[in-house]
Structure 1
């Protein structure tokens, strides 16, 4: 197996899917408008590499607490069609298609909830996806998470868990990300690529001989 691993936000799409989802919910009057300001403050910490993931997930999952999975799914699909697919980088689609043509397995792994990551992956034709795991009781979201967050070093932990479930190891792996938060993942793969990397990550890419890609809409 050869495996291509993609971050989602600001890597495959020109935006952050969780932030866009909250904006969608506010437009639909399913979340209070002030949630956007509070989420923005937490995202500033994410870009500095010091996100309080517990606080972030508590905030961003509050609007779907007590929602049935079957009721939320059509809303997520509408959101993907309206707000996500128009933001997919054409070069990202090309790279996904290239890996398919080479017979590679493709995996999206993101520090966003799996209620968004998995259907976005399906919409992009990607069979495998890892996101932050959400607790459900009798098919109802309770606003909590479980397991290791797929964030920073946690992405690597969740990846290793996934590989154990696959009962096979990749003979060669590719990794794509825009974020310094994904440094553990980029260091793990055999062939790393930095997408629109900011200055610090760009310097690291140059030092380590990683591919640097500029993707635009």
Structure 2
């Protein structure tokens, strides 16, 4: 019997819930809805959804406050779907634990793609897969080895630390702050330019065309994500920062 993945839609706008609901039902997802924070918390506990689509502008509580609460109380994957398009809002949500961030207005095909990526990430995490291949690059997190077209790639410890952090969450954006806190944990002051230089070097070693990166994708002003094989590249910026 086919398992239907359950999605909790949290949004106070009825027409948005109906739009998302219709798109998900057509693709055989089970749907739960909430129109405010109180209902969302109740549904999270009662229904244990695989994925939560969370609007931030809720009438009874700021959605940002729900992000760490949801991540503490469940293992659900949380995708923020919000009209807030400021970089600082996106960074705040991701730093608090959101797995992805989609800005309104959105295309339902893109929303469905984000949901599919999120589900693959859950299966990868739950199944314990520790080897990832993107194009001709293979990352083995157990052996701490990286190959390109079958040949070993030499990485410095910091280069490997960045790549491994991205590989542990393929398809998910990891913010500059999250990466720097892991790679430079004892630095009192983190400088994003250090990270940009390191990523440029990584791309020189891994990408076939470093100026048009297909493996390590830039989320402009936010962070980076490692593309999953089979996914169309989503590169918001033409600058490989």
TM-score if structure 2 supplies the norm length?
A: 0.27
Of structures 1 and 2, the one scoring higher in RCO (CA 8 A, sep 6+) is 1
Instruction: Give 1 or 2: higher helix fraction.
Output: 1
TM-score if structure 1 supplies the norm length?
A: 0.29
